[in-house]
Amino acid sequence: MVGADLAARRRGHRRRPGESEAFAHDLAEFIGGVRGIDTRGRTFRGGGRGGDLRAHDTWMETCFERSERFLDVPLLRRMWTVLRDLPRGPVPDLMTHGDLIPGNVLVSRGRLAGVLDVGGLRAADPALDLVGAWHLLEDRPRRALRADLGCDDLEWERGKAWAFQQSMGAVWYYHESNPPMSRMGTRTLARLAAA
C-alpha cells in the first residue's frame, strides 16, 4: 500500500498544474493577498486593462480584423458584445497583478512556487486577476478558485471579459513571434466559449 501511495503522489506531481485544485487554491491565496494590499487611495488611472471594458472597443476591432484566419470571429464578436457591457458594480478598485498568464507563474511539484512580473501591481478592477482562472486552470480547479475568492456572478463574468480581451490580442499578435503565447490565447478563448 505504501508503494501505491508513493506512486499516486508521483503521478500527481506530473499532472499539469491547471488540472490541480491545490494549484488553484494557491493561486486564489495569491490573488487574495494582492487584493489585501492597501491601495492608499489609488484608483485605476487608465491605459491598459483594469478600467472600463468598453474603452477597449477600438483594440478589439483590430483584433477581430486580424484574427479572421485563426478564429471564429463572428462568434467572438457576439461574445464581446455581451462582455463589454457588463457593469462594474459597487466594488472599489483593489490592488491587482494584472497579468496572471502561464509565463508569469512558477510551479514546483504541481504547486504555485512564485509569481513573476509583480512590478506592475496597481489598483484596478479586482476582476482583472481572474484572467488567471481562464489562462491557467481547467474547469474543476477553476471552480475551486472561484469558491475560495467568493466571486459573485458579475465579478466572475467581468473576469471572463478581461481574459477575453487579453486573449484576442495574443492569438494574432504573437502568432509568428511567440507561438506559445498565441496558443495560450486560443486555448483561453476556447475555455471561455465553452463556459
- What does the alpha-carbon distance between residue 31 and residue 9 come to, in Å, rounded to a whole number? 27
pLDDT of residue 1: 42
Per CATH, the number for 17-194 is 3.90.1200.10
Q: CB–CB of 121/104 below 8 Å?
A: no
Domain chopping of the chain, boundaries: 17-194
Amino acid at 38: D
Instruction: pLDDT tens for the chain, 195 residues: list them.
Output: 444 443 444 444 456 899 999 999 999 999 999 999 999 999 998 888 999 999 999 999 999 999 999 999 999 999 999 999 999 888 899 999 999 999 999 999 999 999 999 998 999 999 999 999 999 999 999 999 999 999 999 999 999 999 999 999 999 999 999 999 999 999 999 999 999
- What does the alpha-carbon distance between residue 34 and residue 160 come to, in Å, rounded to a whole number? 19
- What does the alpha-carbon distance between residue 74 and residue 79 come to, in Å, rounded to a whole number? 9
Residue given cell 458579475 in the structure block: 154
pLDDT of residue 5: 43
pLDDT of residue 15: 66
pLDDT of residue 52: 94
Helix/strand/coil (H/E/C) assignment for every residue in the chain: CHHHHHHHHHHHHHCCHHHCHHHHHHHHHHHHHHHCCCCCCCCCCCCCCCCCHHHHHHHHHHHHHHCCCCCCHHHHHHHHHHHCCCCCCCCCCEEECCCCCHHHEEEECCEEEEECCHHHCEEECHHHHHHHHHHHCCHHHHHHHHHHHCCCHHHHHHHHHHHHHHHHHHHHHCCCCCHHHHHHHHHHHHHHHHC
Amino acid at 171: V
pLDDT of residue 168: 98
pLDDT of residue 47: 80
pLDDT of residue 14: 55
pLDDT of residue 3: 46
What is the Cα Rg of the chain in Å? 17
